[in-house]
Amino acid sequence: MSSFFSIIASDQIVLVDFFAEWCGPCKTMSPILKDVKSSLGDKVKILKIDVDKNQRLATALSVQGVPTLILYKKSKVMWRQSGVIPKNDIISKINEFL
């Protein structure tokens, strides 16, 4: 958990995807996030967190449903949303904070 907090503390924007292996919408988000990463490259770091393997972290961050995306900049939550989100919406949101 401490490595999570050091990653989100960086100057780089970090998009955290809280997901579960059994979650259908999470499987839909996976290729969308790959497209986001290929579009934005080094402008964003994408971190995937399996809520079943990281229950304490998910609870500490009040992640109630999956998928949940949280955008961090210097440890501050810039944006948070649950559910399947289109690629262009994610990119637009990230660009607001670049």
Q: How far apart are CA 8 and CA 5, in angstroms?
A: 5
Give the 3-state DSSP-derived string for 36-74, with helices as H, strands as E and coil as C. HHHHHHHHEEEEEEECCCCHHHHHHCCCCCCCEEEEEEC
Q: Is 26 a catalytic residue?
A: yes
Q: Is 23 a catalytic residue?
A: yes
**List 7, 9, 23, 46, catalytic entry:** 23
**List 14, 15, 20, 26, catalytic entry:** 26
Q: Which residues are catalytic?
A: 23, 26
